[in-house]
Amino acid sequence: MELALTILLFVALVATALTIALVRRLFAVVMLSGVFSLLSALLFVLMDAVDVAFTEAAVGAGISSVLMLGTIALTARSEKRPERYSLVPLAVVLLTGGVLIYGTLDMPNFGAADAPVQLHVGPDYIRKTPEDIDVPNIVTAVLASYRGFDTLGEVTVVFTAGLGVVLLISGLGRRIRRRREGAD
């Protein structure tokens, strides 16, 4: 059942991605990328990552679509028809994909409990969280406490990115300058 669902979701995901590659109307591209986010959120739920699914649904389908629509409103509606199709990108992509698939051959089976990832730090967090921190959601415990320093860094990155956007396009500097000139 789970396998069938996974495959179904994958077919839908790949179909969405290919349609995004082919469609030239940017509005459709943005809407499809929202669909892609929701589908990947479903896939995350299947793989037990409920927190991640939650974030992906809120961020990918919500905010990201709004921002891209805002960008379209400020720039252009559709993509230009390409003058010529080159085979080089396709060759590069196929080569990279082949190398990556070759790399996966060594990986442990999906869902294996004895995979190297499952033997090290993860089990410690699961075992110690009830005594150390005593909150049911282990992801929150790791995020905010065990790896609090990491998260501080992430928050700073978000802060910096927001600062960058405001500096680039909010027109704040222009407004302040105008006010200053008005005051003189």
Partner 1 sequence: MDHHLILRVVTKLLVAPILLYGLYVQFHGDFGPGGGFQAGVIFAVGFILYGIVFGLRRLRKSFPDYFVHRLVALGVLIYAGTGVVNMLLGGNFLDYNVLAEEGYKGQHWGIIAVELGVGVTVFGVMMAIYYSFAGRPPRLDDKDW
Partner 2 sequence: MNMQFDVEFLLGHMNYWLFVVLMMTGLYIVVARGNLLKKIVGLNIFQAAVFMLYISMGKISGGTAPIATGNPDEIYSNPLPHVLILTAIVVGIATTSLGLALIVRINESYGTIEEDEILELDRIKSDEEIEKLKTEASNSK
Per CB under 8 A, residues contacting partner 1 are: 27, 50-51, 53-55, 58-59, 62-63, 66-67, 70-77, 131-137, 139-141, 143-145, 148-149, 151-152, 155-156, 158-159, 161-163, 165-166, 168-172
145 binding partner (options partner 1, partner 2, none; Cβ < 5 to 8 Å by kind): partner 1
Could you tell me if 128 and 135 are in contact, meaning their C-beta atoms sit under 8 angstroms apart?
Answer: no
Q: Which amino acid is at 34?
A: G
Taking the complex as a whole, how short is the minimal distance between the CB of residue 126 and partner 1, in angstroms? 16
CA distance 35 to 62: 11
Which of partner 1, partner 2, none does 122 bind, CB closer than 5 to 8 A by kind?
A: partner 2
- Would you state the structure tokens that stand for residue 96, as one six-digit string? 């990279």
Nearest approach, Cβ of residue 48 and partner 2 (Å): 4
Minimum CB separation of residue 166 from partner 1 in Å reads 5
What whole-number distance in Å separates Cα of residue 173 and Cα of residue 179? 10
Q: What is the DSSP string of 55-66?
A: HHIIIIIIIHHH
Q: Which does 131 bind (CB under 5 to 8 A by kind): partner 1, partner 2, none?
A: partner 1
The Cα angle at residue 60 between residues 79 and 62, in degrees rounded to 5: 95
Supply 57's token pair.
């649904």
- Report the partner that residue 173 touches, choosing among partner 2, partner 1, none (CB closer than 5 to 8 A by kind): none
Question: CB of 163: closest distance to partner 1 in angstroms?
Answer: 7
Residue among 10 and 159 whose Cβ is closer to partner 1 = 159
Q: Which of positions 130-159 make contact with partner 2 (CB under 8 A)?
A: 130, 136-139, 142-143, 147, 150-151, 154, 157-158
104 binds, among partner 2, partner 1, none (CB under 5 to 8 A by kind): partner 2
Q: Which of 5, 131, 149, 161 binds partner 2 (CB under 8 A)?
A: 161
Evaluated on CA atoms 138, 141, 147, 152, the torsion sign reads positive
Q: Are 146 and 125 in contact (CB under 8 A)?
A: yes
Torsion sign (Cα): 37, 39, 45, 47: negative
